[in-house]
Amino acid sequence: MVEHPLDEALSLDVVEPGRFHGRTTPQYWNMAGPFGGVTGALMLRAVLDHPEAQGRPVALTVNFCGAVAEGDFEITARLVRGGRSTQHWQVEMTQEGRGVATTASVVMGVARETWGHRSAGPPSIPAPEAVPLFPTAIRNGWTAQYEMRFAAGAPTFPQADAPRAPDDIRSGLSHLWVRDAPPRPLDYPALAALSDSFILRIVQVRGDLPPTATATLTTYFLADPADLARQGGDYLLGVANSRAFAHGFHDQIAELWSRDGELLAVSTQMVWFKS
Amino acid sequence: MVEHPLDEALSLDVVEPGRFHGRTTPQYWNMAGPFGGVTGALMLRAVLDHPEAQGRPVALTVNFCGAVAEGDFEITARLVRGGRSTQHWQVEMTQEGRGVATTASVVMGVARETWGHRSAGPPSIPAPEAVPLFPTAIRNGWTAQYEMRFAAGAPTFPQADAPRAPDDIRSGLSHLWVRDAPPRPLDYPALAALSDSFILRIVQVRGDLPPTATATLTTYFLADPADLARQGGDYLLGVANSRAFAHGFHDQIAELWSRDGELLAVSTQMVWFKS
């Protein structure tokens, strides 16, 4: 049986408890390094693979400190503090001779039933089967590892040297159905990667491709393990937008909903852009 | 001249470069520890006071690992990686005999002018002078350190033993004018504290006061130093809301706008609640 490319990308070898070895894979390559969503998923994976991990992921913040080079990396995960209801973890990715590439913090929480309430709802868009497939498969790199069906705000994927029309400012809002390609049962690392699978909003809004990079990404998991298990390999409804672009940075927000209207995860990131 | 209570709360003594000593102050006390907004501001303050800090704050993530006790604490700030355009910092607050209370990551960015665009706008509410003062001054603790004027979604501040009416679910949306009391010129630590000055949404939505605590808080600063200087001690327009409450946690989002419609900061947090 052929391993799913995401499982290959998220495969970690234990060097010693809390210390892992891994390597980048070509399938999730981005323009100047691996896809940040997979880097974030790896940081989470290291915590989940730690013998002291308890509960289920609640929050993940990933700081992209420097470029990750093609090849080997090491991840260390350290339990900073554990309590009855939560654990706080600190995670670091290093590459030999290159220093710290990525840091992350992870909050784990005891899986339990409580009062619940959903004050927001998903946008109303046609079923995934009725929305055309966006052609990611013909592209190189990480977008080909996702099936995307845009009901609104499909990206233009401009050329790197495309001129920018200063008056042509588009909406940063996208609504899409998204899942791993090929489909794969949803788990927390896959959901962490999906939370970063939205094209950077500056590309969406301006229609050109300036030098840009995510500085920091935070994902909150509202779903418990049973909620994830119910999804199987089904589509998730993704919503992405931005509020402001100023002084070399822009914010980006995203939501991932189940087909039946549960909010599984929300994320936000701060994106650096050159000019 | 009497020192502003916020300056007193954010006062740090240098033990050695990157290592600071401070103490909690009664003015910003919360129910079971100091107000998390001031704890976050202290973590940022430690980076800003570090001799290697460059640029202006871009992002701050604060992880509330354990309760902070009344009294002395130590904060260490470490530059994880610095580049031409950003710096990544890791910060830790400890108390003697109690271990790590708080961790934080800070992204600093070179202050510079670039293309800008605001895709969201502030809600339209009456000027602060036309919105009644919310009575925080008569209360003990941190809320008395803020002047709040609610145009929508004023909190009820229930008693700890107030019964909950299960069918009485309110909106989690609040619109308010907010500033330090007494007014104080806006800077990044004050903005960091303000980004956590919104009553936890579960109190707002349910109208009771269950055991609850912020697990992690992330604030992005869209404002550059000149934007902050322009505010002086003026009111900011705050917006707070939540999207989902499930499995013992809820998300919370907030925006802080200038009176003239600039988005100065956005924040999000994941809040633990007992039941």
**B263, B255 Cβ separation under 8 angstroms:** yes
pLDDT of residue B161: 67
Select the residue of B66, B83, B114 nearest A247 (Cβ to Cβ): B114
Buried b / exposed e across B230-258, counting CB within 10 Å, b at 16+? ebeeebbbbbbbbbbbbbbbbbbbbbbbb
The DSSP secondary structure of B150-182, one letter per residue, reads EEE-------TTPPP-TT-PPP--EEEEEEESS
Task: Residue B120: count other Cβ atoms within 10 Å of its Cβ.
Answer: 16
Tokens of B228: 């902050």
Residue A107 CA: distances (Å) to CA of A44, A192, A224, B48, B268: 10, 13, 14, 26, 15
Contact between residue B223 and residue B191 where contact means Cβ atoms under 8 Å apart: yes
Confidence at residue B159, expressed as pLDDT on a 0 to 100 scale: 66
Q: Which residues of A touch B97 (CB under 8 A)?
A: none
Strands B236-241 vs B249-257: parallel, antiparallel or unpaired: antiparallel
Is there a contact between A100 and B119 if contact means CB atoms under 8 Å apart?
Answer: no
Mean pLDDT of A240-254: 97
pLDDT tens digit string along B75-94? 999 999 998 899 999 999 99
d(CA B151, CA B156): 14
Indicate the Cα dihedral angle A111, B167, B267, B218, nearest 10°: -20
More confident residue, B158 or A52: A52
Residue A274 touches partner B, C-beta closer than 8 Å = yes
Q: Do B247 and A268 touch (CB under 8 A)?
A: no
pLDDT tens track for A129-173:
999 999 988 777 899 999 999 999 998 766 666 667 777 889 999
E-strand spans in chain B?
13-16, 19-23, 56-64, 72-82, 86-95, 99-109, 117-118, 146-152, 174-180, 212-221, 236-241, 244-246, 249-257, 263-273
Question: What is the pLDDT, as a whole number, of residue B156?
Answer: 77
Point out the least confidently predicted range of A231-245, A256-270, B43-57, B157-171. Answer: B157-171
- Residue B215 has its nearest CB partner, among A100, A107, A263, at A107
Q: Comparing C-alpha atoms, which of A204, A194, A275, A212 is closest to residue A241?
A: A204
Contact assessment for residue A46 and residue A20, using Cβ atoms and an 8 Å cutoff: yes
- Distance from C-alpha of A238 to C-alpha of A219, rounded to nearest angstrom: 14
- What gap in Å lies between CA A162 and CA A139, rounded to an integer? 18
Instruction: Give first-to-last CA distance, chain B, whole Å.
Output: 47
Structure tokens at B54: 């460059």
Q: Which of A239, A38, A168 is nearest to B243 (CA)?
A: A239
Q: How confident is the model at residue B158 (pLDDT cuts 50, 70, 90)?
A: low
What ipTM was assigned to the predicted interfaces of this complex?
Answer: 0.97
Inter-chain CB proximity B251 and A220 less than 8 Å: yes
pTM above 0.90, yes or no: yes
Q: Which chain A positions have a beta carbon within 8 Å of B85's beta carbon?
A: 248, 272
Taking CB atoms and an 8 Å cutoff, what residues of chain A touch B86?
A: 215, 272
Under DSSP, the state recorded for B191 is: H
Q: Which helix (H) or strand (E) holds A109?
A: strand A99-109
Q: What is the pLDDT of residue B157?
A: 67
Kindly state the percentage of chain A with pLDDT values over 70. 97
What is the share, in percent, of chain B residues with pLDDT greater than 70? 97
* Residue to substitute from A86, A170, A206, interface B, most B β-carbons within 10 A: A86
Please determine, for residue B20, whether its predicted confidence score (pLDDT) is greater than 80.
yes
**Nearby residues of A6 by Cβ (< 8 Å), 6 or more positions away:** A28, A38, A41, A145, A180, A184, A189, A190, A193
Distance from C-alpha of B258 to C-alpha of B261, rounded to nearest angstrom:
5
Tell me phi and psi for residue B204, to 5 degrees.
-60, -45
pLDDT tier for residue B171 given thresholds of 50, 70 and 90:
very high
Backbone angles phi, psi at B125, to 5 degrees: -130, 160
Lowest mean pLDDT among A157-171, A205-219, B25-39: A157-171
Nearest to B58 by CA among B187, B179, B188, B198: B188
| Nearest chain B Cα distance for residue A2, angstroms | 35
